[in-house]
Structure 1
Amino acid sequence: MQSACSQCNLHELCLPVGMSIEDVERLDALVGARRKVRRQQPLYRAGEPFEAIYAIKLGWFKTDVLLEDGREQVTGFQMSGEMLGLDGISTEVHTCNAVALEDSEVCVIPYDRLEELSREVEGLQHQFHKVMSREIVRDHGVMMLLGSMRAEERLAAFLLNLSQRFNARGFSPAEFHLRMTRDEIGSYLGLKLETVSRAFSRFQDEGLVAVQQKHIRIQNLTGLRRLIQQPAAR
């Protein structure tokens, strides 16, 4: 099924930002197809040849890598309007797994054709560089989480990040459903499952959030922000 970037309700979050109508139409022709990925199924696996990048049209994904001891380390969670597949650009093979957290749909963008069009369309090249920069900034944010924050600060920063991303898509920034498990959250934040559960319980006891299984309602946004702004105890 052909996907029209110009008519997509996520176009402001994806590659066509700032491009002229004519250039967006050229990108429409570039996007080969949409691909549906069932829950818990991979979009791609580490070691597979890199051929395309993917714009998430619907749904959620996680990326992870396999550690030497056989455990999976979650490296990110991606939602609609975000890109997957950039990990394969430098080596021409994917360096991580991308697995759907729910039934999802992506727009397939062949990378060789994207490169060719980027050389002709200045706006596309500029926007693609912005997308890659956004990924680098996100990676730096994760390193900050793992390197300098206590457990509750990490979870607060994670919830605030989700809140901002939902808000950017026109959804409630204060009430949302988690697609990932607490174990996956712990893997991403460098925390044990029990630590994640205790932090959620404390947030609920202090009136910061209301938690019902995977449903989250942020009751005190300022309190969550204050938690990650306060100096760490020595």
Structure 2
Amino acid sequence: MNTIHLAQQSPGSPLRHACADCASHDWCLPAGLDAKQTKLLDCLTVHERFIGRGGSVYRSGTAFHSLYAIRSGFVKSTMTLDDGRERVTGLHMSGELIGMDAINTGQYMCDAVTLEDSSVCAIPFDELESLIRDIPALQQYLHRMMSREIAHDYGVMLLLGSMRAEERVAVFLANLSKRYAARGYSATRINLRLKREEIGSYLGLKLETVSRVLSRFQEDRLITVQHKDVEIKDLDRLNRMVNHHDAHPRASRQAVRVVAAAPARVQPGLAKIIAPPPARVHVTPDLVF
């Protein structure tokens, strides 16, 4: 069995909290682990960083050393296109793990920027790699995270390409609602965090289209909107819009086939440690965003 020594906290070093004491432990690395296994996570040399709004978690092109668990706050991931435009590729919240797209290349593929004052835990990947050999449940958690990465990369373009603007915005709102509810917050009162143009970038829509759809939803008494605050007035109707696949069954099936066949994006040396699960990965609105 590999031995990982507990790092000593030195004066002035980043604050370190036990994983078991973290409010996000139900969605982060400890998810599915027993008390003894969770205690082993505290042997990792994890550094907690406090980052103000608009601060950088990591930058595209920098060397990959750590995965980042969001302890509190919200983070967006973006890529800069050849013409200089910024494309939003993800919206992440507490308990979610980011940086996995860098495992294969050895460098981060996008920018991760905080949308509000946030704290993140930097988890050294070499230490995590050693630890998961001894904790199968942790390996299974990484399987799920990698499956979501694969589904995002190979499924979102197919699914969004077949959806109308109203469906895209509905999926976005319904997904935020479920993620808020899973963390004990209201499922019907959400803060968008992103600006309208950022939502459009994320969903492949123009700013004007996003504004028009939100206004239409408000006129239809589906939601009320005040700046970035949205109250969902009819959650059942919103979910019915999301679950209505008649408009894009072919794209949905194609996305499932592509995702199921896609290899995990890991370095050859990690293949035996973080092997992709054999089961089919089904693309759903929960998984895509």
- TM-score with structure 1 length normalisation? 0.94
Amino acid at match of 1:82: E
Instruction: Quote the residue 1:217 is aligned against.
Output: 231
Instruction: Quote the residue 1:132 is aligned against.
Output: 146
Q: Displacement, 1:140? A: 4.9
Q: Displacement, 1:76? A: 0.6
SS in structure 1 of the partner of residue 187 of structure 2? coil
Instruction: Quote the residue 2:93 is aligned against.
Output: 79
The count of aligned residue pairs is: 233
Q: What are the ranges of 5 or more consecutive residues in structure 1 without an aligned counterpart? A: none
Q: Displacement, 1:188? A: 0.3
Instruction: Quote the residue 2:270 is aligned against.
Output: none
SS in structure 2 of the partner of residue 210 of structure 1? strand
Residue 219 of structure 2 corresponds to residue 202 of structure 1? no
- Deviates most, 79-88 or 23-32: 23-32
Instruction: Quote the residue 1:58 is aligned against.
Output: 72
- Paired residues for 1:1-234 under 5 Å: 1-140=15-154, 142-228=156-242, 229=244, 231-232=246-247
Amino acid at match of 1:205: E
Amino acid at match of 1:191: L
Answer yes or no: is the 8 Å Cα contact 1:3–1:33 preserved in 2. Answer: no
Determine the C-alpha separation between the residues in 2 that align with 1:33 and 1:230: 43
- Deviates most, 144-153 or 134-143: 134-143
Amino acid at match of 2:168: R
Determine the C-alpha separation between the residues in 1 that align with 2:229 and 2:48: 29
- Deviates most, 224-233 or 67-76: 224-233
**Structure 1's 52 and 230: CA in aligned 2 closer, same or farther, altered over 3 A?**
closer
Answer yes or no: is the 8 Å Cα contact 1:46–1:97 preserved in 2. Answer: yes
- After superposition, what is the alpha-carbon deviation per residue over 1:22-43, rounded to whole angstroms, capped at 9, x for unaligned? 2211101214210111111111
Determine the C-alpha separation between the residues in 1 that align with 2:52 and 2:150: 28
Determine the C-alpha separation between the residues in 1 that align with 2:25 and 2:95: 8
Amino acid at match of 2:50: K
Amino acid at match of 1:75: T
What percent of counterpart residues are identical? 51
- Deviates most, 50-59 or 122-131: 122-131
Q: Displacement, 1:232? A: 4.0
**Structure 1's 145 and 189: CA in aligned 2 closer, same or farther, altered over 3 A?**
farther
Q: Displacement, 1:144? A: 4.3
Q: Displacement, 1:174? A: 0.4
- Deviates most, 156-165 or 31-40: 31-40
SS in structure 2 of the partner of residue 2 of structure 1? coil
SS in structure 2 of the partner of residue 120 of structure 1? coil
Answer yes or no: is the 8 Å Cα contact 2:101–2:149 preserved in 1. Answer: no
Answer yes or no: is the 8 Å Cα contact 1:65–1:72 preserved in 2. Answer: yes
Answer yes or no: is the 8 Å Cα contact 1:62–1:77 preserved in 2. Answer: yes
Answer yes or no: is the 8 Å Cα contact 2:46–2:122 preserved in 1. Answer: yes
Q: Displacement, 1:227? A: 2.7
Q: What are the ranges of 5 or more consecutive residues in structure 2 without an aligned counterpart? A: 1-14, 249-289
Determine the C-alpha separation between the residues in 2 that align with 1:46 and 1:60: 18
Answer yes or no: is the 8 Å Cα contact 1:31–1:107 preserved in 2. Answer: no
